[in-house]
Amino acid sequence: MKKRVNVLYALVFTLIIIQTLTFISMGSQFSSIAEKQKEIETEFFSKINELESETQFKTNEIIEIISQQKSDIREEIELLKSENDFSKVIQNVIKNVVSIRTDTSSASGFFVSPSYIVTNFHVIEGSEFIEIKDYDGEISQATLIGKDEFTDMALLKIDSSSEYLIFGNSDEIQILNNLTF
Mean pLDDT of 104-118: 91
Task: Examine residue 13 and state whether it is found in any structural domain, yes or no.
Answer: yes
Task: Examine residue 175 and state whether it is found in any structural domain, yes or no.
Answer: no
Q: What is the pLDDT of residues 43-62, one digit of tens each?
A: 888 888 888 888 888 888 88
pTM of the predicted protein model:
0.51
Query: How many Å apart are CA 101 and CA 128, to the nearest integer?
Result: 11
Q: Are residues 58 and 10 in the same domain?
A: yes
Q: What is the pLDDT of residues 61-98, one digit of tens each?
A: 888 888 888 887 788 777 666 666 667 777 778 888 99
| Interacting residues of 12 by C-beta distance below 8 A, sequence separation 6+ | none
Its domain, for residue 36, covers 1-85
Percent helix / strand / coil, the chain, rounded to 5: 55, 20, 25
Q: What is the pLDDT of residues 149-161, one digit of tens each?
A: 999 999 999 998 8
End residue of a domain, out of 85, 109, 134: 85
Task: Examine residue 63 and state whether it is found in any structural domain, yes or no.
Answer: yes
Q: Are residues 41 and 62 in the same domain?
A: yes
